[in-house]
């Protein structure tokens, strides 16, 4: 799957480097990309990404409208969680103790997609994952 062997895998690997370790993430090899499209009213409820057998980080790329992103804890859907805005071009990485944190998208801000991002409206999110599965 060329998409996952070119810039996306390389960028995902670089983004998963913890501060101070220039080689962390060098061998990050996502084998799956999940693409979600959000229109102006779309939401995604709090959930954990538990289908993968690998503990490797999930790398999430946002394109288009900004969204409110809720990032919680690995134990419960309720607090504590943090709300932050993800804008077009943002990469969000969750790995290590946060790999199974509940997360979701409670809101999209229509009309915030920057010119030239390739989307006139709505939001696309691409999450890169290492499934740990054969074939």
Q: Write out the residues near ligand AKG by the rule CB under 6 A.
A: 34, 36, 44, 49, 60, 69, 103, 105, 125, 127
Nearest to 62 by CA among 13, 101, 113, 17: 113
Least distance between ligand AKG and beta carbon 14 (Å): 19
Least distance between ligand AKG and beta carbon 103 (Å): 5
Least distance between ligand AKG and beta carbon 63 (Å): 10
Cα dihedral 96, 98, 102, 103, rounded to 10, equals -100
User: Is the dihedral angle over the CA atoms 47, 58, 62, 67 positive or is it negative?
Assistant: positive
Q: Which is nearer to ligand AKG, 22 or 125 (CB)?
A: 125
Q: What b/e string do you get for 113-133 counting C-beta neighbours within 10 Å, with b at 16 or more?
A: beeebeeeebbbbbbbbbeee
Q: Which is nearer to ligand AKG, 26 or 83 (CB)?
A: 83
Taking the C-alpha atoms of residue 51 and residue 28, their distance in angstroms, rounded to an integer, is 18
Q: Which is nearer to ligand AKG, 26 or 131 (CB)?
A: 131
Least distance between ligand AKG and beta carbon 113 (Å): 14
Query: Are 129 and 34 a contacting pair, CB within 8 Å?
Result: yes
Q: Which is nearer to ligand AKG, 9 or 63 (CB)?
A: 63
């Amino acid at each position: 799957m060329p998409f996952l062997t070119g810039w996306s895998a390389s960028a995902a690997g670089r983004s998963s480097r913890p501060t101070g370790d220039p080689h962390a993430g060098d061998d990050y090899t996502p084998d799956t990309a999940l693409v979600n499209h959000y229109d102006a009213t779309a939401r995604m409820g709090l959930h954990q990404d538990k289908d993968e057998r690998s503990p490797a980080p999930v790398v999430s790329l946002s394109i288009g409208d900004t969204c409110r992103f809720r990032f919680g804890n690995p134990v419960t859907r309720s607090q504590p969680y943090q709300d932050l805005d993800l804008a077009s071009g943002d990469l969000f990485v969750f790995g290590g103790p946060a790999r199974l944190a509940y997360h979701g998208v409670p809101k999209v801000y229509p009309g915030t997609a920057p010119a030239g991002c390739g989307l006139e409206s709505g939001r696309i999110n691409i999450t890169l994952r290492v499934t740990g599965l054969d074939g």
